[in-house]
Amino acid sequence: MPFDVQGRLVPGAVPSTRKPPPSIVRPPYVGRAAPPAYSGDNTYTEEEIGRIRASGRIASRALDAVGEAVRPGVTTAELDRVAYESVVSQGAYPSTLGYRGYPASSCTSVNEVICHGIPDDTVLREGDIVNVDVTAYLDGFHGDTNRTFRVGEVSEEVDLLVERTHEAMMRGIKAAKPGRQVNVIGRVIETYAKRFDYGVVRDFTGHGVGSSFHTGLIIPHYDSAPAYADVIVPGMVFTVEPMLTLGTHEWDQWDDGWTVTTRDGSVTAQFEHTILVREDGYEILTVSE
């Protein structure tokens, strides 16, 4: 079911939605159509940053656990179960669960799926790649991170795409310095990606994150200047999460209202961190240690 005769992904069976124990505090949007409007800026006090860091650590540790579970034969639903158990056992809520109606604790995006893949009965095969995106919510703050995992051995072309997508994210993060406009991040990412003729996805972006899952601040991964001219300041928190493809940046969306694929079926990879901008550099808030 999950791969058609051409090897393209098709929708599978989605397991029933999980319900964390009542001791796990839910974000305000759960059970509503949309999150409440966010009115704050994108800077935080040290105390608040400590909370984003705690949530970020939980999400990162959940990805560590997911990574241990990735192998040929595993389903994306099983990876989502691992993510759920990890986040909830650390006392946090998996932010995607019930976000605008999203049914799972992670996004699992396989091969040509750019982002927002819904975990289902898709059985991963040697040579596939799968991006797993986990956000944790604890004490009023979210930490958002994703990684692309290789399933067994992958082709050299795909291996390099994964490696270079990680490098593109790191270059974007390092470009985020106080006094610059946020559009510097995408400029650096696009310039690097174009060396290899990769597609750079434009319509899904990084974002401010903190007490709100998506604050309204947008961080493009392409060169958007003179647009997206918000000036980076110390204490700002946002994600950098580039999606690069072996072909087009154009996309289609499945009828499930979530799954986004490359229009040409080309393979695509993504990495994401939540970062804090400091006076003298950056701190990655989504790390396990």
Site residues, ligand MF3 (CB under 6 A)? 96, 99-100, 102, 107, 116, 133, 135, 144, 207, 239, 241, 258, 272
Closer by beta carbon to ligand MF3, 118 or else 161:
118
- Site residues for Co ion, window 211-240 (CB under 5 A)? 239
Quote the CA–CA distance of 180 and 168 in Å, as a whole number. 18
CB burial of residue 197 (10 Å; 0-12, 13-18, 19+)? exposed
Residue 150, binding choice from Co ion, ligand MF3, none, Cβ under 5 to 8 Å by partner class = none
Tokens 């650096």 identify what position? 188
DSSP assignment string, 15-55:
PPPP---TTSPPPTTTTSSSPPPP-S-SB--HHHHHHHHHH
Site for Co ion (CB under 5 A): how many residues? 5
Pick the binder of Co ion from 80, 112, 128, 144 (CB under 5 A): 144
**Whether the Cβ atoms of residue 113 and residue 28 lie closer than 8 Å to each other:** no
Closer by beta carbon to ligand MF3, 80 or else 241:
241
- Site residues for Co ion, window 267-286 (CB under 5 A)? 272
Minimum CB–partner distance for residue 32 and Co ion (Å): 20
Minimum CB–partner distance for residue 238 and Co ion (Å): 9
Minimum CB–partner distance for residue 214 and Co ion (Å): 7
Closer by beta carbon to ligand MF3, 107 or else 276:
107
Angle between helices 46-69 and 76-89 (to 10 degrees): 140
Quote the CA–CA distance of 96 and 116 in Å, as a whole number. 10
Contact status: 78 vs Co ion (CB under 5 A):
no
Quote the CA–CA distance of 80 and 232 in Å, as a whole number. 34
Residues that bind Co ion (CB under 5 A): 133, 144, 146, 239, 272
